[in-house]
Amino acid sequence: MKVDAILPANMKQVAAEAARLEGLGYDGLRLAELNHDPFMPLALAAANTTRIELVTSVAVAFARNPMSMAILAHDLNSFSNGRFVLGLGSQVRPHIERRFSMPWHKAARQMREFIEAMQAIFDCWYKGERLQYVGEYYQHTLMPDTFKPDDTTGPRPRIALSATGPLMTKVAARVADGMIMHPFTTEKYMREVTIPAVEEGLEERGVSLKDFELDYAPMLAAGVNDEGIERAVSFIRGRIAFYGCTVAYRPVLEIHGWGGLQDELIALNRLHETDEMANLITDEMIDTFAIVGKPDHVIDEMLKRFGGLIHRTGFSAQGLEDEELSGLLEKLRGT
């Protein structure tokens, strides 16, 4: 199991922090597209490391087009000597239309075309095939030699798709190299919904699950003492409440009999009652969605719940000495 660390997006800190995290023994650095572009910091990280993988977790696909995303992915992958993993996500419709001013269609179908188009572009660049992708939403049929990258002797970028529901999960299995599961999931949902959907999509494609990377970094409330754990639990309680408002995530709640919670959370969210939202999240919900405790216990529980199920994860805990953290990473990695 590969173990990733979250990389800060602050451009002034990235170089030193990336080198430090690589030295601790992490396998990957993951960076989400939130209030900064993820590609520029990862380029700095690539320049200051030699082994560690670089993961966008996630970049917003629909804020761009397949060609612009393919160029970004190729350049960073080539520069890092094949260490880049392009993690993609759809975001939600209001953000795509109102924040990015980009078109939103049927999300799963649009995402499938987006990745198919990228794969067609990579086939053109890396295999010399003619670019001829014509879909409902994306058409790419022009690629003069002038615009082809000339550094294509290495591996093509790997694509991992962030997915929660069955439709997007099947898209990931059918067209991507791996899937990033949203933190708002549970072991039960993973075993009963996610894995069967992945297996169905891979079977259609003729690909084995061992050749498809499943990436899941659970929510962790880890601390070296009771005070640290309590602070972490408080943060996780608010995070679960926030995620619980997203309509697309309702099936995760429903599989545990908590579907009605979303209606209450949405109503409170409209009133900006964030404290009241957090108060609706019970200890049982926290223990189901997150892993709580001291670092050793958290590692043991991660292995118990997800060992043998996933290929990539994330782990961090405040207050650990570097040597202790390195030992925990080795324990988690060794499954």
- Residue 109 belongs to a domain: yes
Distance CA(84)–CA(122), nearest Å, equals 15
pLDDT score at 42? 98
Confirm whether 265 is domain-assigned.
no
pLDDT at 335 over 80: no
Q: Per-residue pLDDT tens for 196-239?
A: 999 999 999 999 998 999 999 999 999 999 999 999 999 999 99
Which residue's structure tokens are 């929660």?
A: 164
Residue 227 dihedral angles phi and psi, to the nearest 5°: -65, -45
Expressed as residue numbers, the domain containing 25 is 2-219+305-333
Asked, for residue 130, whether it belongs to a domain, the answer is: yes
Q: What angle do CA 25, 164, 90 make, to 5 degrees?
A: 90
Is residue 250 one of the residues assigned to a domain?
no
Domain assignment of residue 230, yes or no? no
Q: Is residue 61 part of a domain?
A: yes
The residue to which tokens 């980009």 are assigned: 102
Q: Express each pLDDT in 76-117 by its tens digit.
A: 999 999 999 999 999 989 999 999 999 999 999 999 999 999
Closest CA to 244 of 288, 278, 198, 290: 278
Backbone angles phi, psi at 323, to 5 degrees: -65, -40
Strands 28-31 and 53-56: parallel
Q: How many domains does the chain have?
A: 1
pLDDT of residue 102: 97
Question: Could you tell me the CATH number of the domain that includes residue 104?
Answer: 3.20.20.30
Strands in the chain per DSSP E: 2-6, 28-31, 53-56, 59-60, 84-89, 133-134, 139-140, 158-163, 178-181, 213-216, 219-222, 290-293, 312-314
